[in-house]
Amino acid sequence: MGREHAANVIDVPAKRGEIRRAIAQALSPDFRRSLQGLENPYGDGHASEIITEALTATALGAELLFKS
């Protein structure tokens, strides 16, 4: 709860009936149709390349250990 997630995530308590209801919802044509054009809130899948480039371009040193 409270974490960012895409619309294809169905939050449900750990109760048998609720889990069954969520599975039925996930398999329903209306729910699946609602996901058309869904954008991933976490980016495009290339985060590791972006992080690697940023770390490679950053000068490492003692100044990184202290907040200004």
Report angle CA 24, 37, 18 to the nearest 5 degrees. 20
Confidence tier at 1 by pLDDT (50, 70, 90): low
Q: What is the pLDDT of residues 8-65, one digit of tens each?
A: 999 999 999 999 999 999 999 999 999 999 988 888 889 899 999 998 998 888 888 8
* 12 neighbors 22 (Cβ within 8 angstroms): yes
Distance separating alpha carbons of residues 25 and 30, to the nearest angstrom: 8
The half-sphere exposure of 19 on its side-chain side, counting CA atoms within 13 A, is 3
Q: Residue ranges of the alpha helices (H) in the chain?
A: 16-27, 29-34, 47-57
Tell me the three state secondary structure of residue 44: coil
